[in-house]
Amino acid sequence: MILAFLIWLENLTLFSSLRSSAYAYPVVLALHLTAISLFGAMIVASDLRLLGWALSGSSIGDVLTPLRWPKRFGFLLAGTCGFLLFASKAEEYYYNPFFRAKALLFVLVAVHALAFRSSVYGNPAELDGAAQRPLAKLAASLSLLLWLGILCVGRGIGYVAGRPGMHYR
Amino acid sequence: MWIENPLSTSPTGFAVLECFHIAGFALAIGMTALVDFRLLGIGLHKQSPVQIARAIEWWTLGGLVVAVFSGLLIFSTDPDMYYLNWPFLIKMACLALAIAFNYTIHKRAIFRPWAPGAARLVAGVSLVLWVSVIFGGIFIAVVRTGLT
């Protein structure tokens, strides 16, 4: 059922032409990496501030709040490019163990966001007090580990080739 | 006598190197972009460009060192392919320009504030140079032609 949907998806004109294009596919890949660099660093900067390792002269709110919307925009850009890459080889990705690991890590990112939303990311103004600090540091460390994991398994996806006979059925 | 480069025969070693390469350049380029975005009026506006530049300085350099050293090891797996490859040569030119720009004009624009228009231009040039390096890297595996 899922697989039938993915095969239908990858054979839509947009995605099948992206898959077979010589230059559009690598351009989307390069944009994906650009979005990861430009906006991934905003996640890292926020986490480093929560850990007290960078920008510690500023209050936590003065670092986290102005980066909130740029981070969302970057996530949207990286996500859109990522979806294009996935959709053009959806059947292959379905079987790819690194893609499955990446999907699982994204579920954990969502759990992380929900778990720390009210205590950490939702009210940065209160984080400068000493009592909140261990929780904020835990959230920041887990966030760094999750995103580094996503980066590594993401690179791994490209190392598992699809089986012959996939696509164009 | 030829000694086999162990990285050329180990896909795992190569993949791990690439992870270091991506994490390193993402850190270096992204941290520099925080300053560029600040000069363009995006993102961190409660801090001055100087404060951001000081805070990211060592993270940028650390990321750059990791990216360059992992890149040298990646290069070592197939040097004749790389040095004959157009995207690679363009990437290296952009990288040299980006690093030189970063530590000269870019630094000046931050530490001796220029007119906002000039500062925005510097930020734009910096972003374009660094992003060109990423595009060059991706296209090494796509465009297999170059010097002969």
Tell me if chain B has a CB within 8 Å of the CB of A147: no
pLDDT, tens digit, 9 for 90 and up, residues B41-89: 999 999 999 999 999 999 999 999 999 999 999 999 888 888 889 999 9
CB–CB of A38/B27 below 8 Å?
A: no
Residue A131 has pLDDT above 90, yes or no: no
Inside any domain, residue A13: no
Inside any domain, residue B57: yes
Inside any domain, residue B1: no
Inside any domain, residue A126: yes
* Interatomic CA distance for residues A150 and A31, integer angstroms: 17
pTM of the model: 0.92
Q: Give the pLDDT band (50/70/90) at residue A168.
A: low
Inside any domain, residue A134: yes
Query: How many structural domains is chain B composed of?
Result: 1
Inside any domain, residue B55: yes
How distant is the Cα of B58 from the closest Cα of chain A, in angstroms? 10
Inside any domain, residue B100: yes
With a CB cutoff of 8 Å and minimum separation 6, the contacts of B7 are: B13, B14, B17, B73, B74, B76, B77
Inside any domain, residue B3: no
* Interatomic CA distance for residues B73 and B19, integer angstroms: 13
Q: How many residue pairs bridge chain A and chain B with CB atoms within 8 Å of each other?
A: 96
Helix axes A60-88, A13-20, angle to 10 degrees: 90
Inside any domain, residue B21: yes
Task: Give rounded-to-5 percent helix, strand, coil for chain B.
Answer: 80, 0, 20
Question: Cβ–Cβ of A37/B29 closer than 8 Å?
Answer: yes
What ipTM was assigned to the predicted interfaces of this complex?
0.91
Inside any domain, residue A124: yes
Distances from the Cα of A154 to the Cαs of A36, A123, B75, B120, in angstroms? Answer: 11, 31, 21, 33
